[in-house]
Chains A and B, each alone.
Chain A
Amino acid sequence: MEYTLFILILPLIGFLSLGLLGTRLKGKTAGYVGTALLAATAILAYITAWQYFSTPGVDGIRPTLIPLNWEWMRFTEHLHIDLGILLDPISVMMLVVISTVSLMVHIYSLGYMEGEKGFQRYYAFLGLFTFSMCGLVVATNIFQMYIFWELVGVSSYLLIGFYYTKPEAVAASKKAFIVTRFADMFFLIGILLLSYFTKTFDFGLLCSGEENLFASAAGKTFMGGAVLSWAMALIFIGAAGKSAMFPLHIWLPDAMEGPTPVSALIHAATMVVAGVYLVARLFPVYYFFTPEVLHGIAYVAAFTALYAAIVACVQTDIKRVLAFSTISQIGFMLVALGVSGMGTVEANGLESHEGLGYMASMFHLFTHAMFKALLFMGAGAIIHTVHSNEMSRMGGLRKQMPITHITFLVACLAIAGIPPFSGFFSKDEILTATFMFKPWLGVTMTFIAALTAFYMFRLYYNIFWGKPAQHDHPLHEAPSSMTSPLVFLALVTVVAGFIPFGKFVSSTGAAYIIHLDWKVALTSVIIALVSIFIAWKLYCKGSSKVPDKVAGFFGPLYTAAKHRFYIDEVYQFITHKIIFRCISQPLAWFDRHVIDGILNGIAWITCRGSLAFRWMQTGQLQSYALLLLCGCLLLLCIGLFR
């Protein structure tokens, strides 16, 4: 299956050709070139998926294929960075997700970005991003993943800062890059630690569950924790940075300064789930060797999901609502991974139910990518028409934008978990898995699911119902290049739930048959419906005073949530007040005044010293004669009385 290499190469060609020659291309040519290349990529990805999943594995277990692997750089005998392609269920699934969403975004942008300055640059960056993301998911070793991880970060930086003349966009791109970079540092340290003990970067070896590999780390502790736990926790911090887990989530809401299709592609569907993917990729290591870290991940993720859901309830910028919703949903995926166990293959060739969480997480990743991309693109269509991100500038748009309305509704229903839309199925599995792990966690997650339904429909009603805002230009439906991806994704969202996902992706590779847990499903659906009803009551009419009263009732909580619990301010404080004021500036001062001062002091002393000796060099013969005399006598004395 060497042709999978072209899944990487085609977007790269797109990046290079558009990036180097881009300015020569007139009009939308660059967009068409990029889209064509991406379409080819997507087709290749589908062929790969079809070929991979249609090949039966040994004993029904899906194999891990490595069609290509080149040694790129050798560190030591054991440690070397390879660049290769690894195909297993999750990477193939990710390839499909990435290429699909990316293709949709490419098509959508033809309309959305039309006439923007830097159109070809935009497509070049999209190509770069798609290349790096695909490279990330097919990584054969942890270092290759780190390489593409960084590339993804950079393309995200470039795309967030696409409107580079806008100071907010520049600040947001910088923030995104630095925060993720900060997390990546931990990732790198984690890799270093892990490779120090295991002497390998290779995923195949790491995930084989081989005890010997980790033997050298056994018993080694650092600050009360096993070294291995530290390593895996550090790697998770890297994942948390990319996946915007609390407290490293702060960059994601700001990242919405980028063009909306970019938010759809990078900050909703693909890049932000890289962290989930990383944890899933290393799942055997987490599960077998550091289960405490895995549980920690679950708690962090659950907290993040709750936090983000609460914040999402009070935001007024529609893209921010979606951003917090994304954070919350990624929280769901990571919770599912955190509570999951490793399934065992039973006699009938099927996987036992311990692996449910893993499967659910991947399933949710898949469905979420589709409906969240759809939501963002819908939001993009609205922003494109309304020229504003604020909810208050919208209202009653269902008449002007029927297609956007319907597709948006589909996505909202999906994320709220209403059957038969895809979100229902994946979310239900997650809830089941959490109930299996700890019932109180299940309850919490159900509550968050209810919040999700509430804030999504708050958004929905505020945009499409309620009182229309005044606009000085006529509102119209988006062009077909933008609506067609919406329709396509809506269709996927409707049918994706019926895919027997467990047959394709599971923790062991054996097929997993999904059973709906009716108790959980029913409760969650009812709670979601209740939330939607509340949202309808509060926001449908548009002029209701109730929301303000509710806000008043919650008082400080409301204000805090509106300010995202002041996390940004804390960061601002740490970076500006502590790092800049208390470290960098004193250091710079120290350098200029102390170290340099010492040097200048030495120079000064030398100067003074020579001044002090200058009287000797009067130019008067007589003084020299005196010195000569003294010198001669001294030498004579030394010679005589030595």
Chain B
Amino acid sequence: MQDAILLKIVFYFLAAAIAVFSVMAVTTRRILRAATYLLFVLFATAGLYFFLNYSFLGAVQLMVYAGGVIILYVFSILLTSTDKESPSPLFSLRRWIAMIASIGGICLVAFLVLTNVWPEVHAPATDEVNMKLIGHTLMGTEKGQYLLPFELMSVLLLACMVGGILIARKRS
């Protein structure tokens, strides 16, 4: 029982962190802060994955996002030295419309989610996914196994690497 309360507290903490920091990430003026808030959001997301017993996913999230992507961001922000956005007019029609639409959207989706009747699931497996299983699935060629996408991913990453270098290199 204690456990359950604790878990609930953890969940609410993570949820609140995601909500608050994602909003802050898009509303703050300073880009560096936005990147930091994004980092928090990503951490919280990773936490959520752990919470769901997807430890592998959480780890990947932490490594790729928090370790790689955010570093990229920070570097590029520093490189472009645009820490601050240029001030926008206080009243911007677009901003208001976007805000109203977003809030409306949240409400609409929440309404949908909360009122929808989800299919009954009988045996919710709550245990951790076996690491071995993950490895086999990723490397197998059977039905429901993902070797081809995996390889495609690697090609894509290679292409990105080449592309990134090509685009970003100095023109001689």
Complex A–B touching at CB under 8 A: yes
Binds A, one of B18-26, B49-57, B97-105, B127-135: B97-105
User: Which chain B residues lie closer than 8 Å to A633 at the CB level?
Assistant: 101, 104-105, 108
The prevalent SS among residues of A at the interface is helix
The answer on a CB contact under 8 Å between B101 and A637 is no
Q: Are A636 and B108 in contact, CB atoms less than 8 angstroms apart? A: yes
Contact B108 A630 (CB under 8 A): no
Cross-chain contact of B94 among A623, A637, A640 (Cβ < 8 A): A623
In residues 210-250 of chain A, which contact B (Cβ within 8 Å)? Answer: none
Return the chain A residue nearest B104 by Cβ. Answer: A633
A574 beta carbon closer than 8 Å to chain B: no
Q: Is A605 an interface residue (CB 8 A)?
A: no
Q: Tell me the minimal C-beta distance from B104 to chain A in angstroms.
A: 6
Residues of A within 8 A of B98 (CB): 626, 629
Task: Report B78-101 residues with CB < 8 Å from chain A CB.
Answer: 94, 97-98, 101
Complexed CA–CA distance, A629 and B100 (Å): 11
* B108: contacting residue among A622, A623, A626, A637, CB under 8 A: A637
Q: CA separation between A626 and B101, bound complex, in Å?
A: 8
Task: Verify A629–B108 contact, CB threshold 8 A.
Answer: no
Nearest CB of A to B110, in Å: 13
* Distance between Cα atoms of A553 and B2 in the complex (Å): 143
Interface string of A609-642 (1 = CB under 8 A from B): 0000000000000110010011001001100100
Q: Please name the residue on chain B nearest to A630 by beta carbon.
A: B101
How many chain A residues sit at the interface, stated as a range, is under 10
Residues of chain A lying within 8 A (CB to CB) of residue B105: 629, 633
B-chain residues with CB within 8 Å of residue A637 when the two chains form the complex? 108
Query: Which residues of B from 126 to 168 have beta carbons under 8 Å from A?
Result: none
A622 to B101, CA, bound (A): 14
Cα–Cα, bound, A545→B97 (Å):
105
* Nearest CB of chain A from residue B121's CB, rounded to whole Å: 25
A336 CB, nearest partner CB in chain B, Å: 94
Q: Please name all residues of chain B whose beta carbon is closer than 8 Å to the beta carbon of A626 when the two chains form the complex.
A: 94, 97-98, 101
A-B complex: 9 closest residue pairs judged by Cβ atoms: A629-B101, A630-B101, A633-B105, A626-B98, A633-B104, A633-B101, A636-B108, A626-B97, A626-B94
Query: A residues bordering B, Cβ < 8 Å?
Result: 622-623, 626, 629-630, 633, 636-637, 640
Interface residues of B (CB under 8 A from A): 94, 97-98, 101-102, 104-105, 108, 112
A and B contact pairs by CB, cutoff 8 A, 20 listed: A622-B94, A623-B94, A626-B94, A626-B97, A626-B98, A626-B101, A629-B98, A629-B101, A629-B102, A629-B105, A630-B97, A630-B101, A633-B101, A633-B104, A633-B105, A633-B108, A636-B108, A637-B108, A640-B108, A640-B112
Known: A622-B94, A626-B94, A633-B101. 17 other contacts (CB 8 A): A623-B94, A626-B97, A626-B98, A626-B101, A629-B98, A629-B101, A629-B102, A629-B105, A630-B97, A630-B101, A633-B104, A633-B105, A633-B108, A636-B108, A637-B108, A640-B108, A640-B112
